[in-house]
């Protein structure tokens, strides 16, 4: 009983700082300190539990195997086409792929070899049919269509791989064989790049400079790696229940490493300062968890809340991405709150062992009147000039956002060594890029003889429609009341011209051909499904943004008891995400700085990326917002001097926020320079730019300028609103970020 009373008393004392009166600490607010103390005292049990849990989860995940699926469709007219195919043309209800043959000499000389290859593919499992080869006008290329019995997301990888291996076994020095199409992408994936290793290496260097100690540097890295490892195993298991895309684990690792290292960084920094202030290791740990630990817990909660906005979209693959990322954040947060205190218990005073020469000042050095304090005063002395310059810079960076075009990127962006990219290039050169993404048109014919005449006239009309390269022969079902047509556009699947062709067919050509008849013609296929999905996600983006901003506004208002602060935070976060959107459009859609970023082919932005970028960036930006504003609020309550509070808050948090942001920028940026997947390149650049802008232009220029101009209005909250708004608190002490 006495030990419990002492623990409670210590926690209460540690929640205060110099000049503050110790008082009762709310039970919920003090919980991280209690959890940290328990984990410190039972560190061997905690460490053993994490090791056993990690091994058990990896064993279960390895036993079941992951079940990642790239299923991005399911909305609009393309889904209706899929439903009709399933009912009326069961043999055509699956997805199709293309096997391409190319010879430097006349392709006719390889006719026997091509026939043998196609005959070898026909009897394979999951293959419904293989069409006769279609020779190109160049005389060197031919391709055939492979019809599978299921959509790509439901195809078994081994069965697809067997098709690939069989086809490519017929390749010879004078005959190239390549396969393309969405089903082939199920089995063909680029080898992961060393992105995570590069990001971790950069984080190690940054923390060595910031901490000057190998042990202090190693703990955040170790905690983040354990959290990400557990998160990967959990995501692999969840992939059996939810639709988790194949790039989900890489995305999870990107986010998990960033937030995991950052969260542990804040707590280790606070722990080291406690030791410097004369506390024993256990008291320093309680101090760190009761202050920085609470801030980390609150910051992690904001990330989770923002990610929950993705469930508004109503798409299975985004539900899977959201769930996977949420699990990643939860696992690294759990590791930070439980495993890190246990490891600090083992480290004790040796946290500063193995120091490296020449680092920056120790994390325990006071920041008062230092570089960041002087910088804040410079901004505060010229708030209009500095704020206007920062705002103008952000608006200029955000300008390309208004030209963003949402569409799924095609196989032309795959690495050159993949067979999907090789098939794409061969088809584009010999037939035209549109042969990589045929449109599938389905006609419903009630049965009248005149309906067949309408369809015949429609087929003839297709030959004159701009943007159509070729239309294959129409196929009827057994009862003659439905037909399917395959149309090849002149433009590639991700092109705006292809999207315009789909719109022209649906809104003009089809209505003109079927007006006054009972014939119903729908436009679908994999390319059209991507177009429909892009449109759907584009309409949901404003709703997600609106809900996340509303929830964060209420949360910040409850914490900081202010109207101006949450409004400012929402506006500045929108500016940060706008700058990030502008950067990815300029680089990957317009091709600016393409040599620097290794962009070999420009294209649209995959429609899920802006959604994920907003939710993640908003959550991470709120982390820095909370860390900065909680310190400013503390100084305001003590001094009632807004200008001094802002300067002290910037000074106290500037270096640690800069180090944390630098780590995130390096982790995210590593996916830009050395990852083979374009989607991860785009995502990594967007997040890196957003964090860089947020931690520099926004936090260090725009925020102090606006808060200086607002003065006491920063802390105004109407009394009636104060009465009905729940009270949340993030207790800090004077040295939390020193």
- For every residue of 157-175, DSSP letters joined together read HHHHHHHHHHHHTT-BTTB
Instruction: Note whether 121 and 167 are within 8 A (CB).
Output: yes
From residue 150, alpha-carbon distances to 91, 146, 472 in Å are 9, 12, 22
- pLDDT of 679 reads 87
Cα 661 from Cα 68, distance rounded (Å): 31
Tell me: do 271 and 388 sit in the same domain. yes
HSE at residue 212, side-chain half, CA atoms within 13 A, is 11
Cα 310 from Cα 606, distance rounded (Å): 15
Tell me: do 202 and 220 sit in the same domain. yes
How many residues are there in the chain?
A: 738
Tokens in use for 227?
Answer: 């959290």
Residue 637 lies in a domain: yes
From residue 504, alpha-carbon distances to 97, 210, 260, 525, 530 in Å are 26, 58, 49, 16, 16
Mean pLDDT of the chain: 85
Considering 508, 524, 540, which residue would you say is the last residue of a domain?
Answer: 524
Tell me: do 199 and 334 sit in the same domain. yes
Cα 546 from Cα 550, distance rounded (Å): 6
Cα 295 from Cα 498, distance rounded (Å): 49
Nearest CA among 488, 509, 482 for reference residue 439: 488
Tell me: do 299 and 370 sit in the same domain. yes
Tell me: do 395 and 280 sit in the same domain. yes
Nearest CA among 338, 495, 473 for reference residue 407: 495
Percent of all residues in the chain with a pLDDT value above 90, rounded to a whole number: 40
Domain with 481 in it: what CATH number? 3.30.70.1430
Residue 729 lies in a domain: no
Residue 734 lies in a domain: no
Cα 347 from Cα 219, distance rounded (Å): 9
Reduced to 3 states (helix: H, G, I; strand: E, B; else coil), residue 176 is strand
Number of domains in the chain: 3
DSSP category for residue 358: S
**Which bin fits 521, alpha (ψ -120 to 50), beta or left (φ > 0)?**
beta
Considering 501, 524, 547, which residue would you say is the last residue of a domain?
Answer: 524
Whether the per-residue pLDDT at 162 is higher than 80: the answer is yes
- pLDDT of 118 reads 96
Residue 423 lies in a domain: no
Cα 302 from Cα 305, distance rounded (Å): 5
Tell me: do 404 and 464 sit in the same domain. no
Q: For the packed helices 195-211 and 248-276, what is the interaxial angle rounded to 10 degrees?
A: 10
Domain with 85 in it: what CATH number? 3.30.70.100
Reduced to 3 states (helix: H, G, I; strand: E, B; else coil), residue 30 is helix
Tens of pLDDT along 679-696? 889 989 999 999 999 888
Tell me: do 359 and 254 sit in the same domain. yes
Helix (H) or strand (E) holding 585: none
**CA 124 and chain centroid, separation:** 37
**Residue 139: other Cβ atoms inside 10 A:** 13
Question: Could you tell me which residue, 67 or 31, shows the higher pLDDT?
Answer: 67
Lowest mean pLDDT across 73-77, 135-139, 400-404, 681-685? 73-77
Instruction: Note whether 436 and 412 are within 8 A (CB).
Output: yes
**Residue 3: other Cβ atoms inside 10 A:** 8
DSSP 374-437: HHHHHHHHSHHHHHHHHHHHHHHHHGGGGG--B----GGGS-TTSHHHHHHHHHHHHT-GGGGS
Lowest mean pLDDT across 158-172, 394-408, 689-703? 689-703
Question: Could you tell me which residue, 569 or 24, shows the higher pLDDT?
Answer: 569
Average pLDDT over residues 166-179: 95
Whether the per-residue pLDDT at 112 is higher than 80: the answer is yes
Instruction: Note whether 649 and 632 are within 8 A (CB).
Output: yes
Beta bridge partners of 102: 141, 176
Residue 698 lies in a domain: yes
Residue 428 lies in a domain: no
Does the reported pTM lie above 0.85? no
Tens of pLDDT along 395-410? 999 999 999 999 998 9
The dihedral formed by the CA atoms of 637, 285, 220 and 66, expressed in degrees to the nearest 10: -100
Name every residue whose Cβ is closer than 8 Å to that of residue 597 and which is 6 or more positions away in sequence: 587, 588, 672, 673, 681, 685
- pLDDT of 398 reads 95
Confidence band of 498 (pLDDT split at 50, 70, 90)? very high
Question: Could you tell me which residue, 555 or 426, shows the higher pLDDT?
Answer: 426
Percent of all residues in the chain with a pLDDT value above 70, rounded to a whole number: 90
Range of the domain at 486: 439-524
Cα 588 from Cα 497, distance rounded (Å): 18
Confidence band of 621 (pLDDT split at 50, 70, 90)? confident
Tell me: do 206 and 181 sit in the same domain. no
Residue 340 lies in a domain: yes
Cα 176 from Cα 174, distance rounded (Å): 7
Tell me: do 173 and 306 sit in the same domain. no
Tokens in use for 123?
Answer: 């009897």
Tell me: do 56 and 78 sit in the same domain. no
Reduced to 3 states (helix: H, G, I; strand: E, B; else coil), residue 143 is strand
Question: Could you tell me which residue, 730 or 399, shows the higher pLDDT?
Answer: 399
Tell me: do 359 and 215 sit in the same domain. yes
Lowest mean pLDDT across 298-307, 363-372, 554-563, 574-583? 363-372
Confidence band of 366 (pLDDT split at 50, 70, 90)? very low
Reduced to 3 states (helix: H, G, I; strand: E, B; else coil), residue 519 is coil
Residue 430 lies in a domain: no
Cα 119 from Cα 142, distance rounded (Å): 15
Considering 471, 505, 524, which residue would you say is the last residue of a domain?
Answer: 524
Tell me: do 15 and 95 sit in the same domain. no
């Amino acid at each position: 009983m006495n030990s419990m009373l002492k623990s409670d008393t210590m926690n209460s004392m540690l929640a205060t700082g110099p000049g503050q009166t110790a008082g009762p600490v709310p039970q919920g607010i003090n919980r991280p300190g209690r959890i940290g103390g328990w984990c410190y005292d039972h560190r061997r049990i905690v460490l053993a539990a994490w090791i056993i849990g990690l091994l058990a989860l990896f064993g279960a995940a390895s036993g079941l195997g992951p079940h990642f699926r790239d299923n991005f469709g399911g909305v609009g007219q393309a889904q209706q086409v899929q439903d009709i195919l399933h009912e009326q043309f069961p043999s055509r209800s699956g997805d199709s792929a293309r096997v391409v043959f190319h010879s430097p000499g006349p392709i006719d000389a390889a006719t026997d070899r091509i026939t043998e290859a196609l005959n070898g593919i026909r009897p394979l499992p999951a293959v419904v049919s293989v069409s006769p080869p279609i020779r190109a006008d160049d005389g060197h290329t031919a391709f055939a269509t492979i019809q599978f019995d299921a959509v790509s997301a439901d195809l078994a990888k081994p069965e697809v791989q067997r098709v690939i291996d069989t086809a490519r076994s017929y390749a010879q020095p004078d005959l190239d064989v390549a396969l393309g199409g969405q089903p082939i992408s199920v089995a063909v994936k680029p080898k992961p790049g060393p992105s995570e290793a590069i990001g971790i290496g950069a984080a190690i260097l940054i923390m060595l400079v910031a901490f000057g100690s190998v042990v202090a540097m190693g703990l955040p890295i170790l905690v983040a790696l354990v959290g990400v490892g557990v998160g990967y195993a959990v995501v692999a298991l969840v992939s059996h229940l939810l639709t988790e895309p194949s790039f989900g684990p890489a995305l999870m690792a990107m986010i998990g490493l960033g937030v995991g290292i950052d969260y542990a960084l804040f707590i280790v920094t606070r722990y080291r300062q406690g030791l410097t202030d004369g506390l024993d290791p256990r008291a320093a740990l309680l101090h760190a968890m009761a202050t920085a630990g609470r801030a980390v817990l609150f910051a992690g909660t904001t990330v989770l809340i923002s990610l929950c906005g993705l469930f508004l979209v109503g798409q299975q693959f985004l539900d899977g991405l959201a769930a996977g990322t949420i699990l990643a954040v939860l696992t690294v947060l759990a590791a930070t709150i439980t495993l890190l205190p246990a490891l600090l218990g083992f480290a004790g005073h040796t946290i500063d062992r193995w120091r490296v020469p020449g680092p920056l000042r120790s994390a325990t050095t006071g920041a008062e009147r230092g570089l960041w304090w002087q910088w804040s005063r410079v901004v505060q002395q010229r708030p209009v000039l500095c704020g206007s310059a920062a705002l103008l810079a952000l608006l200029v960076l955000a300008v390309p956002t208004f030209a963003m075009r949402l569409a799924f990127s095609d196989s032309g962006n795959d690495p050159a060594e993949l067979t999907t990219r090789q098939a794409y290039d061969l088809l584009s050169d010999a037939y035209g890029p549109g042969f990589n993404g045929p449109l599938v048109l389905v006609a419903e014919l009630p049965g009248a003889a005149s309906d067949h005449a309408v369809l015949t006239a429609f087929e003839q009309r297709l030959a004159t429609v701009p943007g159509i390269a070729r239309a294959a022969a129409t196929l009827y079902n057994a009862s003659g009341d439905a037909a399917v047509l395959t149309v090849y556009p002149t433009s590639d699947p991700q092109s705006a011209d292809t999207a315009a062709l789909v719109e022209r067919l649906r809104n003009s050509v089809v209505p003109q051909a079927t007006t006054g008849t009972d014939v119903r013609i729908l436009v679908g296929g994999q390319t059209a499904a991507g177009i429909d999905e892009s449109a759907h996600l584009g309409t949901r983006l404003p709703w997600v943004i609106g809900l996340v901003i509303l929830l964060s506004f209420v949360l910040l208002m409850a914490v900081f008891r202010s109207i101006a602060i949450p409004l400012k935070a929402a506006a500045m976060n929108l500016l940060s995400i706008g700058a990030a959107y502008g950067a990815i459009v300029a680089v990957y859609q317009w091709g600016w700085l393409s040599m620097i970023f290794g962009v070999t082919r420009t294209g649209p932005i995959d429609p899920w990326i802006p959604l994920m970028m907003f939710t993640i960036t908003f959550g991470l930006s709120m982390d820095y917002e909370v860390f900065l504003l909680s310190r400013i609020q503390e100084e305001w309550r003590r001094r009632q001097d807004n200008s001094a509070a802002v300067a002290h808050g910037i000074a106290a948090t500037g270096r640690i926020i800069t180090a944390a942001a630098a780590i995130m920028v390096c982790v995210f940026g590593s996916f830009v320079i050395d990852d083979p997947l374009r989607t991860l390149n785009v995502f990594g650049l967007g997040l890196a730019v957003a964090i860089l802008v947020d931690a520099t232009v926004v936090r260090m220029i725009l925020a102090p300028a606006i808060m200086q101009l607002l003065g006491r209005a920063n802390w105004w909250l109407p009394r009636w609103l104060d009465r009905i708004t729940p009270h949340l608190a993030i207790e800090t002490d004077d040295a939390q970020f020193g």
